[in-house]
């Protein structure tokens, strides 16, 4: 029974996605509009760093009805004793040979219920994954922190009278807006209200404000350099360092997110009757100081889902550092790299040849194998690892949400049935996720390619591969 429940759970989530498709598209729309073009044009290069994928596109067509899926069951019965692997090999082999995918291609397809490998081609070859590395980041974060963990931002008393310190915990959902358009998360508005109340209760109405972002160490700039798709990575950043009301898409980010967040907090305190003297300055909260107030992030499960659905680079880098913090390692790019690798190895997956130079996939130094990606997806479907389930539920739905909204859409037989993480840098195209096949099996797949002469054409080739997995029994 547990095996049946596993695929039924994921299949049910896909059906629910169809039923709620209109709402899902409206919700997801602002997160990914416009990012693909900017990341391709401005972030990607053949150097060691590059951009990420966030495909824009039109609204999806109507969801396919159930009769479009059910005939596959009868078709499978007519095939007699043919091995499922034989059918996939016959379907995927010619598609994987498409020159539009580039000279280097690798694939893995696994039955998540049994662990049976149904198709492999170069599955052990470590390749640059682009944003599909976020599957690894998500798995490590969920395993290290747990899905219900929340990241705290606090205000602590300073070292002297009338001093307070805003202490960053690395919450990537922290917002200075009255109502965050990106959903729930830590709120500077609520934190300021609670802080003002605590100060007034203690007879204080004038303070100096310091800010403490020392939880993270090392360079704050991603190796890609200044880029509109990712802010400097600090432990105290509100609204992903965006200076406007956007919640997605490329925009010039704050040069100093920590200081700008502290300035925003000072303004909120003033609005609530607390006089803040001078400019906020970097300070260290005294050890053991009890917070005056605190606000908490979206649970890690929600952060993972948002990151995967919308390929959010800022959340990805924050989660990688949280893995390092939990491991007691330096919360830097280097510390996160080792901590993520160690945590994934502890799950029992083979990380040979892998490198997690960042959490987002912007760095071309990242390396994973298709086998690792399908292994992680299989772990996430395993009833023994319920903590990893958001890895599956956060994947975009083909034709409906996030970076798959305009892919395998409309009349595609994979629309609504396929969930996958996209990955794109110049010359690098990847797709990895899950699909319920005509026989009712939940299959995990990963397709990694390099050297494609044209990105959009390569994407269409990947979509055909994924659709073949969805329709072959």
- What residues have CB less than 8 Å from 430, skipping those under 6 apart? 127, 129, 130, 131, 132, 422, 423, 424, 446, 447, 448, 449, 462
Q: Which phi and psi angles does 470 have, rounded to 5°?
A: -70, -25
CB of 320 within 8 A of CB of 340? yes
Which value, in Å, is the radius of gyration of the alpha carbons in the chain? 23
Instruction: Check 131, 187, 360, 426 and give the catalytic one.
Output: 131
Tokens of 405: 């909204």
Any catalytic annotation for residue 65? no
Instruction: Check 21, 134, 173, 421 and give the catalytic one.
Output: 134
Beta-strand relationship, 442-450 and 428-436: antiparallel
Beta-strand relationship, 428-436 and 206-212: unpaired
Q: End-to-end distance of the chain based on CA atoms, in angstroms?
A: 22
How are strands ordered across the β-sheet holding 206-212?
Answer: 275-282, 206-212, 163-167, 152-157, 293-296
Cα–Cα distance for residue pair 86/107, rounded to 1 Å: 15
Any catalytic annotation for residue 173? no
CB of 340 within 8 A of CB of 323? yes
Question: Maximum distance among all alpha carbons in the chain?
Answer: 81
Q: Which phi and psi angles does 243 have, rounded to 5°?
A: -85, -5
Tokens of 133: 């590395």
CB of 454 within 8 A of CB of 84? no
Any catalytic annotation for residue 131? yes
Cα–Cα distance for residue pair 240/153, rounded to 1 Å: 15
Angle of helix 313-327 relative to helix 300-310, nearest 10 degrees, comes to: 140
| DSSP-H helix ranges across 202-272 | 257-271
Instruction: Check 311, 430, 432, 473 and give the catalytic one.
Output: 311
Residues carrying an active site annotation: 131, 134, 311
């Amino acid at each position: 029974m547990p095996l049946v429940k596993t695929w039924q759970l994921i299949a049910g989530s896909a059906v629910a996605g169809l039923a709620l498709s209109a709402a899902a598209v409206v919700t997801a729309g602002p997160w990914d509009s416009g990012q693909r073009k900017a990341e391709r044009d401005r972030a990607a290069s053949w150097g060691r760093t590059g951009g990420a994928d966030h495909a824009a596109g039109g609204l999806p067509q109507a969801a396919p009805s159930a009769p479009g899926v059910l005939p596959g069951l009868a078709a499978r019965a007519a095939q007699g004793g043919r091995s499922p692997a034989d059918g996939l090999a016959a379907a995927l082999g010619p598609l994987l040979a498409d020159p539009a995918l580039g000279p280097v291609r690798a694939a893995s397809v696994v039955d998540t219920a049994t662990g049976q490998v149904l198709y492999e081609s170069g599955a052990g070859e470590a390749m640059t994954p682009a944003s599909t590395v976020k599957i690894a980041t998500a798995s490590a974060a969920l395993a290290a922190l747990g899905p219900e963990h929340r990241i705290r931002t606090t205000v602590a008393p300073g070292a002297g009278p009338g001093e307070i310190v805003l202490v960053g915990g690395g919450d990537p959902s922290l917002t200075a807006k009255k109502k965050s358009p990106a959903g729930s998360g830590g709120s500077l508005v609520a934190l300021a209200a609670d802080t003002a109340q605590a100060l007034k209760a203690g007879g204080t109405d004038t303070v100096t404000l310091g800010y403490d972002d020392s939880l993270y160490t090392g360079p704050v700039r991603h190796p890609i350099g200044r880029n509109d798709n990712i802010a400097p990575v600090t432990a105290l950043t509100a609204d992903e360092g965006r200076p406007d009301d956007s919640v997605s898409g490329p925009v010039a980010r704050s040069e100093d997110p920590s200081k700008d967040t502290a300035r925003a907090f000072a303004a909120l305190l003033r609005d609530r009757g607390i006089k803040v003297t001078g400019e906020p300055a970097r300070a260290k909260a005294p050890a053991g100081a009890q917070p005056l107030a605190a606000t908490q992030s979206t649970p890690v499960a929600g952060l993972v889902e948002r990151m995967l659905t919308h390929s959010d680079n800022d959340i990805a880098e924050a989660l990688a550092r949280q893995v390092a913090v939990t491991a007691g390692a330096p919360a830097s790019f280097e510390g996160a790299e080792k901590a993520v690798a160690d945590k994934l190895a502890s799950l029992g997956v083979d990380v040979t040849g892998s490198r997690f130079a960042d959490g987002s996939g912007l760095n071309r130094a990242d390396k994973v194998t298709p086998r690792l990606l399908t292994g992680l997806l299989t772990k996430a479907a395993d009833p023994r690892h319920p903590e990893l389930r958001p890895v599956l539920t956060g994947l975009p739905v083909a034709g409906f949400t996030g970076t798959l909204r305009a892919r395998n859409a409309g009349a595609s037989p994979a629309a609504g049935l396929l969930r996958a993480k996209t990955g794109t840098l110049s010359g690098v195209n990847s797709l990895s996720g899950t699909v319920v096949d005509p026989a009712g099996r939940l299959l995990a797949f990963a397709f990694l390619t390099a050297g494609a002469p044209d990105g959009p054409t390569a994407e269409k080739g990947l979509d055909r591969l994924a659709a073949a997995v969805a329709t072959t029994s």
